[in-house]
Chains A and B, each alone.
Chain A
């Protein structure tokens, strides 16, 4: 008999009183294993639920625009589409959200019987106060973006980035991130946006979306006009 066998016998002898305990353990172990798996599943599911459902709800808060605005109706009245109000100035800079000066020609007096229209004329037009619009697409201050380069040179339309807001009859609530303070539209509203997936070009406006589109359209991520790459092309 080899030394190994002797040793094995010794081990067997030493373990024999514990055999019954071991058997019990294995028996109980099945139950515990089930429980363990159950706990894993509970933790896993709960955290997925929290991460995917609860967290986004907690992360964002909601504000209403100061007054409502009917894009669709105004689009019918103007000749030049979006650029009738969201125009380029003569120096090429983009005016963004219209100022009161563009509204007062028509809105010196209350038009129609909308409650919002009455508030607009009384609180803003007659007092000469600008409407503090909440801007869905506002990027952080460190992001440089030229509308002229994209709309006038690259001939992109507004919908590509801003979606079909021009067809809306009322303004959606403005959701903003409680941590960063920026609009939810930058990160996207759909859960899949969190995975970097999107259906429409206007679903998200994060840095990767800029880069992806540049790659698709021009074959490179760099700026078209300067042909330069790197952080400071966009972050100034």
Chain B
């Protein structure tokens, strides 16, 4: 007997047969197929209880109601709140991306102090003790007026607490950004010396004449505007968009008037000419509620003939006549302005020209028209207690208690002999959003001690000496007053959806703690135990309604129900704000192109938002500048080729994107790129528009009304 090849063959067959009759191959195959479907890279939130919490979005001034979906204690989705009067269940891409701001890597997780150029973690007690010591010294030295504060808004309790702190401390240096609403409040509307902000009843208008307002590009309250635009489409209501470039709004409008940039006011007066000439105005409304109509009317009829207006604006006279007639005959038309997202104010001359159209057709405080609303006033706090130091500090630099426009801040640091010695920044990112950014940063760095309350490591936080991180908007209580052109203003409530993830503290609490540690009259000005008590007592009897509904609708103060008087102002020779720069050296005009796909404010775009940016705006790390093909050809520039974009304020390397939707000699790219902070999805991507433009003050209001800047493009 000998073991040979056949035996082994037989063994093999036996093994094969045995294996086939055992579960091994079948089970292994089944398990392998299951294993191949285990995809650990696919995020699967753990199972748990699903809950929904209502709150308010703070990522832009729109004030949308949001519903946050959680699984146990983790936020998994943010949706629009269905029963909210602002957005009726809608939400924008930035609002949707909120969870990435909560859980993303850009959070500042504890107080940080800069030591030798590097941030080190310190305790809250250490941080607050250091601030108290510095502030006490400044006060003792009689330099209380050199402490400043920047807030993202002039409204609301947190902003109010910072302003109150500065006043009680003895400083009037409080700055907040301005917008189209400030332009409106500076128009010649006489309302018993009360500040007036606009409320547009757009849902009930039957003809919309927009002077550059980016209706679906983020103007006003963005989701509300998109819904209003959809409603106009359904009801076949005409939207006329006056804008030098084919923005999304212009593309979706019923008629696009590609006017020469900066000539919107002239065009508005051209329409006024048609309304006057053809007697399409409402004489009773004008008699009852305005002054100076005759002189103004005569001036318009003498100087704004459509042929003349056509020359300036580039819109032919027949179109001006047609649109003027349509507007005058519509019944419930409305004219709105505020270029792009309306975050940059327009000149008083322009606002007056546009508002005059509304006054002419008598649509002030009427359905479908413009409502003149009071500043949201719903917080009642006790009087501020001022001691002698505070008095002298406030006298050292008297200023209106409403604070100052943010664009004047760099000048307050460098153009003032006392300068600024100490700065607080809350809910703002001036080292990114201020125009002429490089100079603004230089001024910022001159301040000996800067404290940022930012929840995120943004540009301003990075350049600060101390960061006292606030809870994010999903971790705290706060009131959010919302104007943004809404017909009825309201105050949204934000409330904690999750417990704070890190060692952060509410900025309101930090301000109250600082005040208490400074003792005396400052402590006396802050009689609350903590921010919650301050918010609750400040809202008084409105508190319950506020917390039950999640928002508070602000009712009219009776005198605002009456139509205010409007003073028709004879415009200056040409109501245009001149551009910075020498036309002979820089033949192009650079204007911003706002987009809902980028966050251009203090909050940087989260990764989800960055994924929506098209490659005609950003390609890899390069910003693309929109230019008319004819202009590009003239300058020898090719599609996707590199060029150097130069303005009087700076120069940047950009790529070329050809577009038929932009006028000759006009170039544009959006705000919201070119961050140097935040995460890898945002930092180093593209060019910050603000670095290439500088402030241009309106001679009437002092607001920064720079709508563009002269520029040149040369092949790189």
Contacts and interface: CB of A to CB of B under 8 A. Distances in A.
Interface string B10-27: 111111111101111011
B38 A46 contact: no
B37 A142 contact: yes
Nearest to B47: A96
Contacts of B4: 32
A141 B44 contact: yes
A14 B35 CA distance: 63
Interface in B55-80: 72
Interface in A28-50: 28, 31-32, 34-48, 50
Contact of B22 (A36, A40, A48, A96): A48
Interface stretch (A62-70, A149-157, A173-181): A173-181
A36 B6 contact: yes
A194 interface: yes
Interface stretch (A52-60, A209-217, A223-231): A52-60
Given A47-B22, A140-B37, A55 B14 contact: no
A51 interface: yes
B38 A181 contact: yes
A93 interface: yes
Contacts of B16: 43, 47
A50 B22 contact: yes
A137 interface: no
Given A39-B8, A40-B10, A194-B23, A45 B18 contact: yes
Interface string A194-207: 11000000000000
Given A91-B50, A194-B27, A48 B18 contact: yes
Contact of B15 (A46, A56, A59, A93): A46
B23 A52 contact: yes
Interface in B635-682: none
Q: Would you call the interface of chain B mostly helix, strand, loop, or mixed?
A: helix
B118 to A, nearest CB: 34
B140 interface: no
Contact of A47 (B8, B19, B28): B19
B31 A180 contact: yes
B2 interface: yes
Given A31-B1, A36-B7, A44 B32 contact: no
Nearest to A235: B37
A22 B49 CA distance: 82
A47 B1 contact: no
B700 interface: no
Given A96-B47, A180-B38, A39 B27 contact: no
Classify chain B: how many residues form its interface, as a range. 35 or more
B49 to A, nearest CB: 6
A31 B4 CA distance: 11
Q: Would you call the interface of chain A mostly helix, strand, loop, or mixed?
A: helix
Contacts of A7: none
A35 B13 contact: no
Contacts of B27: 55, 59, 187, 194
A40 B14 contact: yes
A93 to B, nearest CB: 6
A37 B35 CA distance: 38
Nearest to B7: A39
Contacts of A194: 23, 26-27
Interface string A99-139: 10000000000000000000000000000000000000000
A198 to B, nearest CB: 14
A231 to B, nearest CB: 12
Nearest to A141: B44
Nearest to B34: A180
Quick one: which of A32, A36, A46 has the most chain B CB within 10 A? A36
B115 interface: no
B24 to A, nearest CB: 4
Contact of A51 (B22, B38, B42): B22
Given A47-B15, A89-B49, A52 B22 contact: yes
Contacts of A42: 11, 14
B10 A43 contact: yes
Nearest to B25: A51
Quick one: which of A47, A59, A91, A177 has the most chain B CB within 10 A? A47
Given A44-B14, A93-B50, A50 B37 contact: no
B347 to A, nearest CB: 54
Contact of B1 (A32, A140, A177): A32
Contacts of B388: none
A40 B49 CA distance: 58
A53 to B, nearest CB: 9
A145 to B, nearest CB: 11
B34 A51 contact: no
A2 to B, nearest CB: 38
Contacts of B7: 32, 35-36, 38-39
Interface string B373-414: 000000000000000000000000000000000000000000
Interface of B: 1-4, 6-19, 21-24, 26-28, 31-32, 34-35, 37-38, 42, 44, 47, 49-50, 72
18 contacts: A35-B1, A35-B7, A40-B13, A43-B13, A44-B14, A45-B14, A46-B18, A47-B14, A47-B19, A51-B22, A55-B27, A141-B42, A141-B44, A142-B37, A179-B28, A179-B32, A180-B38, A181-B38
In the A-B complex, list the 3 residue pairs whose CB atoms are closest, starting with the nearest: A51-B22, A43-B14, A47-B18
Given A40-B14, A47-B15, A179-B32, 9 more contacts: A39-B14, A46-B18, A50-B22, A51-B21, A51-B24, A55-B22, A89-B50, A93-B50, A179-B35
